[in-house]
Structure 1
Amino acid sequence: MTGYASAQLGTSQGSTSAEAGHPASRRLGLEIRSVNSRFLDLSFRLPDELRPLEPALRALVTQKIRRGKVEVRAALDSGDASTLPDLTPRLLQRLGSLQDVVQSWLPNAAPLSVAEVVRLCANTHSTQEDWSEVAQTLARQALESMLQARAQEGERLATMLHDRLGQLRALTLQAVPLVPRLVEQQRQRFMERWKEAMGLAEGSAAPEAAQDRALSEATAFAIRIDVAEEVTRLQSHIDEIERLLQQGGEIGKRLDFLIQELHREANTLGSKSAALELTRISVDMKVLIEQMREQVQNIE
């Protein structure tokens, strides 16, 4: 099932900005995206600083989501674009000493630029930051928002499925009176052919034996074209799907199986059909079932 949610939260670092005189803040943003998939396919895109948090985030997501292609993204940035890391004299002195050591061994090495010094100071400080609690808080918020969005989409899908089930039930009811009528029509056709054959045979075969053979053939053919069992199973599967939709919960995989069974019965109905009207009903059923199959894959 598709869904999207994001959450952001800032935290104060331990150092104090020399210019602003207050703790420098950083912001963690987390996004969760979900698209349709029959199984759970979970992937993470995290900055290196947050890689150690992946197992905890994975466990949190799998507790709430059972199905879908889910992607979790996280990004770190400063809470204020004008906020710079705390460039303390001790840290700058250390960077200068390191630069002198490097240039003593590599005389052609370029000196550090201001931007590189700022970046190195920011990275040095960021390694001391513990984002585990903040990341889990954001993940819970994003999951809650996404689950609410998925629940709304689930209601729309349930409405659509109820509509298609109603149409399937109507088609099934159209097929019910056709079954005995078709069997009787086929029996009458065999009897007519038998009478024609008896007239052409001019008494060469025993009438009783020929009639028994004709009735036997008519009965066997009637059994082959009888779709009463398929119609009954169609109705049973429709009832079960409606029951599951009313029940709710994790019903996606059961719905998958029932949709396959619906398609099987509708296909058999068409292959055994001895009338154009039943063939049309079978085709209409398979169109509706295919529409349901596409949407059922979205349901968890």
Structure 2
Amino acid sequence: MTGFARTDGHGDGYSWTLEAKSVNGRGLDIRCRMPTGFDGIEAIARAEMPKRLARGNVNLTLSVTRTAGVSQVRINRPLLAEVIALAREIEGAGAAPPRLDALLAIRGIIEPVEEDETEARGRMEESVRADLARLIDELAAARVAEGKRLAEVLAGHLAEIERLVGLAASCASTQPAALRDKLRAQVMALLDAIPAMAEERLAQEAALLIGKADVREELDRLRAHIQAARDMLAEGGAIGRRLDFLCQEFNREANTLCSKSADVELTRIGLSLKASIEQFREQVQNIE
């Protein structure tokens, strides 16, 4: 959800800079810093950004500088008419007719006129609105590019999680034969400790031991979560919240695996699995 975009413009005696920064966030929080009198630009930004962005803290800044007064020129026609009439009188007396450039060079014939400030300001705001639309496009594109890079990172973490799940599945303590031997030893220990234990109670204890020792169900669910995460990454779009929820399920299964483990090697794998899941979760916080 990180991104940056900037655009500069100038015209009609103004120069301006639009800048947008996006960082991680649970929801969409748009903060605008605008000069006085540009509430309309802020309203447009708040209306358009949610159409392109779903999450993140976005800071939008507009700075505007008045570079020069916008002026036009006009011809003082009454004065020009008087000068031409005078020139004709002089011409009638035998003088050469005056050149046009000489007439226009006479002081007062051409006058600078300040343009209506309202019109210049209106054209400038129209240009800023067009730049704002491009800025939002650039920010969204930057976030998409960041998302593609993060997708590769997340895929790497999922591959590591899958590798650790495979190691846990191949661990000797999770194999059916090992489980049976372990259960047999524990049942014999119960019989030796309590010779008169009822068969029903013995069955209950045996079922409890089986449940505590067998982590294959947790491993199956972890595999299913890995596939679900890969499907979401392939789907694309705003999947951050869904992946965040899936991380909770990853953690739940990894915690159960560690709590059930009575084997040092399996416990070591389980702890490594939890670390990889946490790394995956941290990166998930960075996507929309």
Q: Name the TM tier (shorter chain).
A: 0.7 to 0.9
Give the alignment partner of residue 190 of structure 1, picking from 186, 192, 209: 186
Give the alignment partner of residue 121 of structure 2, picking from 123, 129, 132: 129
Give matches, 1:208-223, under 5 Å: 214=202, 216-223=204-211
Secondary structure at the residue paired with 1:77? Answer: strand
Q: Which residue of 2 aligns with 1:138?
A: 131
Give the alignment partner of residue 157 of structure 1, picking from 150, 154, 161: 150
Q: TM-score, normalised by structure 2?
A: 0.75
Larger deviation: 286-295 or 145-154?
145-154
Structure 1 spans left out of the alignment, 5+ residues: 13-24, 87-121
Q: Which residue of 1 aligns with 2:78?
A: none
Return the offset for 1:58: 0.9
Provide the rounded CA distance (Å) in 2 between the counterparts of 1:84 and 1:51: 23
Q: Which letter does structure 2 place at the counterpart of 1:297?
A: Q
Q: Which residue of 2 aligns with 1:237?
A: 225
Provide the rounded CA distance (Å) in 1 between the counterparts of 2:183 and 2:204: 10
Give matches, 1:25-174, under 5 Å: 25-79=13-67, 83-84=68-69, 125=117, 129-130=121-122, 131-174=124-167
> Computing the radius of gyration over CA atoms, which structure comes out larger, 1 or 2?
2
Q: Which letter does structure 2 place at the counterpart of 1:10?
A: H
Alpha-carbon spacing, 1:55–1:183, altered in 2? closer, same or farther (3 Å): same
Return the offset for 1:165: 0.4
Alpha-carbon spacing, 1:77–1:279, altered in 2? closer, same or farther (3 Å): same
Return the offset for 1:132: 4.0
Give CA-to-partner distance per residue, 1:18-39, whole Å, 9 cap, x none.
Answer: xxxxxxx211210000011121
Secondary structure at the residue paired with 2:16? Answer: strand
Alpha-carbon spacing, 1:225–1:135, altered in 2? closer, same or farther (3 Å): farther
Q: Which residue of 2 aligns with 1:262?
A: 250
The answer to whether the aligner puts 1:274 opposite 2:262 as a matched pair is: yes
Q: Number of matched residues?
A: 243
Q: Which letter does structure 2 place at the counterpart of 1:163?
A: G
Return the offset for 1:148: 2.3
Secondary structure at the residue paired with 1:38? Answer: coil
Give matches, 1:283-298, under 5 Å: 283-298=271-286
Kept in 1: contact 2:229–2:243 (CA 8 A): yes
Kept in 1: contact 2:168–2:270 (CA 8 A): no
Secondary structure at the residue paired with 1:53? Answer: helix
Q: Which residue of 2 aligns with 1:115?
A: none
Provide the rounded CA distance (Å) in 2 between the counterparts of 1:272 and 1:146: 47
Q: Percent sequence identity over matched residues?
A: 36
Secondary structure at the residue paired with 2:10? Answer: strand
Provide the rounded CA distance (Å) in 2 between the counterparts of 1:195 and 1:54: 78
Kept in 2: contact 1:31–1:74 (CA 8 A): yes
Secondary structure at the residue paired with 2:38? Answer: helix
Q: Which letter does structure 1 place at the counterpart of 2:133?
A: R
Secondary structure at the residue paired with 1:34? Answer: strand
Give CA-to-partner distance per residue, 1:243-284, whole Å, 9 cap, x none.
Answer: 111111121111111111111111121122222222212211
Q: Which runs of 4+ in 1 moved over 6 A?
A: none
